[in-house]
């Protein structure tokens, strides 16, 4: 016979929570800071490559063409506006050969480099025939010459550095050979070299080989080329 267990019955039990009520706190959202557009006069402004500031630095070793950023009190806190009438760049491969004039409204290179086939102005677009200072017959023909002594076709060369790139036609035409080129040039009297390169879809930066090392590690590139870049390679030993 199973003995029934005696149970005490408590009629005053309280099952409500007894800890203090704490109001739930929603996670705070960071406040977005909105920057206004700069005045239209700053459309081509590149803070660390400003020409008036650059001319105050020594020309030795191209120091004046290196990055010289403005002091804190001169920094702008606004967004650089796009050129008036800016359009979406042409998709590749058309973008390799054409750029909207409204995106880079500078015609000086079409005159200065006319005989070298850098760039031509046609209607409302720029056309890039593929020429360069040392290869007016076209980048393709120049790359073919290089390929006769450098194993470009077999995949040995995958990355390249284009020093003093002009409008970056060399890098643009290397893409179809599965070689990715980083092009760089200073901001000098040849207006908008790097801007043309970027609008064409070619990796490019404003830069110069001077007293400061480029921001790339050793052996980052399989090949480096300089087509009449006027660099005194042995000047500093």
- Give residue for tokens 């052996």: 219
Q: Is the link from the previous residue into 93 a cis peptide, with omega within 30 of 0?
A: yes
Q: What is the pLDDT of residue 85?
A: 94
CATH of the domain at 173: 3.40.50
Query: For residues 186 and 208, is the Cβ–Cβ distance under 8 A?
Result: yes
Q: What is the pLDDT of residue 18?
A: 63
In a domain, 175, yes or no: yes
How many CB atoms lie under 10 A from the CB of residue 95? 18
Q: What is the pLDDT of residue 231?
A: 65
In a domain, 1, yes or no: no
* 97 phi/psi in degrees, rounded to 5: -110, -10
In a domain, 29, yes or no: no
Number of domains in the chain: 1
Query: For residues 49 and 187, is the Cβ–Cβ distance under 8 A?
Result: yes
- 159-163 sheet: strands from edge to edge: 204-206, 180-185, 159-163, 223-226
In the numeric block, which tokens belong to residue 28? 């705070």
In a domain, 120, yes or no: yes
In a domain, 157, yes or no: yes
- 125-127 sheet: strands from edge to edge: 98-100, 125-127, 120-122
Whole domain around residue 175: which residue ranges? 89-226
In a domain, 84, yes or no: no
Q: What is the pLDDT of residue 79?
A: 94
CA atoms within 13 A on the CB side of 185: 29
pTM of the prediction?
0.78
In a domain, 151, yes or no: yes
Q: Per-10-residue mean pLDDT for the chain, 237 residues long?
A: 59 68 70 88 90 90 90 93 94 94 88 79 92 83 92 93 88 94 82 86 89 88 80 63
Query: For residues 161 and 181, is the Cβ–Cβ distance under 8 A?
Result: yes
- Give residue for tokens 């290869």: 135
d(CA 234, CA 237): 5
Beta strands 223-226 and 125-127, pairing class:
unpaired
Q: What is the pLDDT of residue 22?
A: 63
In a domain, 122, yes or no: yes
How many CB atoms lie under 10 A from the CB of residue 38? 15
Query: For residues 161 and 224, is the Cβ–Cβ distance under 8 A?
Result: yes
């Amino acid at each position: 016979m199973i003995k029934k267990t005696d149970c005490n019955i408590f009629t005053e039990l309280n099952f409500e929570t007894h800890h203090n009520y704490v109001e739930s706190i929603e996670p705070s959202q960071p406040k977005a800071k909105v920057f206004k557009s700069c005045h239209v006069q700053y459309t081509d402004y590149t803070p660390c490559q400003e020409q008036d500031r650059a001319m105050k630095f020594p020309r030795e070793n191209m120091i004046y063409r290196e990055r010289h950023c403005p002091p804190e009190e001169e920094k702008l806190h606004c967004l650089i506006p796009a050129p008036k009438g800016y359009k979406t760049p042409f998709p590749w491969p058309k973008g390799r050969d054409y750029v909207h004039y409204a995106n880079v409204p500078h015609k000086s290179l079409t005159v200065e480099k006319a005989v070298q086939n850098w760039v031509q102005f046609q209607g409302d677009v720029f056309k890039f025939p593929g020429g360069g200072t040392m290869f007016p017959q076209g980048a393709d023909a120049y790359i073919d010459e290089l390929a006769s002594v450098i194993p470009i076709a077999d995949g040995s060369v995958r990355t390249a550095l284009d020093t003093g790139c002009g409008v970056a036609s060399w890098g643009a035409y290397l893409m179809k050979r599965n070689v990715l080129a980083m092009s760089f040039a200073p901001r000098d009297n040849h207006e908008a070299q790097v801007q043309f390169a970027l609008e064409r879809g070619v990796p490019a930066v404003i830069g110069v080989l001077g007293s400061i090392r480029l921001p790339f590690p050793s052996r980052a590139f399989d090949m480096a080329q300089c087509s009449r870049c006027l660099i005194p390679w042995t000047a500093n030993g």
